[in-house]
Structure 1
Amino acid sequence: MEKVRRLRAMSSLCRQQAAYNSMNKWKLLAEAEYWDHLADLELSSHFRLCNAIASNEIEQPQAITNPE
Structure 2
Amino acid sequence: MNRLVKMRTQESLCRERAALDSARRSFWRAQAEEWEQRALDEIAHHFRECNLGSAENQPPLS
* TM norm structure 2: 0.90
> Which is higher, the Rg of structure 1 or of structure 2?
1
Q: Give the superposed CA RMSD.
A: 1.1
Matched, 1:26 2:26: yes
What is the alpha-carbon distance in structure 1 between the residues aligned to residue 29 and residue 40 of structure 2? Answer: 16
Query: In the TM superposition, what is the alpha-carbon distance from 1:30 to its structure 2 partner?
Result: 0.4
The equivalent of 1:15 in structure 2 is 15
Secondary structure, counterpart of 2:57 in structure 1: helix
What is the alpha-carbon distance in structure 2 between the residues aligned to residue 45 and residue 59 of structure 1? Answer: 24
The equivalent of 1:45 in structure 2 is 45
What is the alpha-carbon distance in structure 1 between the residues aligned to residue 2 and residue 58 of structure 2? Answer: 27
The list of structure 1 runs, each at least 4 consecutive aligned residues, that deviate by more than 2 angstroms after superposition, is none
Secondary structure, counterpart of 1:36 in structure 2: helix
What is the alpha-carbon distance in structure 2 between the residues aligned to residue 12 and residue 35 of structure 1? Answer: 9
Query: In the TM superposition, what is the alpha-carbon distance from 1:28 to its structure 2 partner?
Result: 0.1
* TM norm structure 1: 0.83
What is the alpha-carbon distance in structure 1 between the residues aligned to residue 46 and residue 23 of structure 2? Answer: 37
Question: What are the ranges of 5 or more consecutive residues in structure 2 without an aligned counterpart?
Answer: none
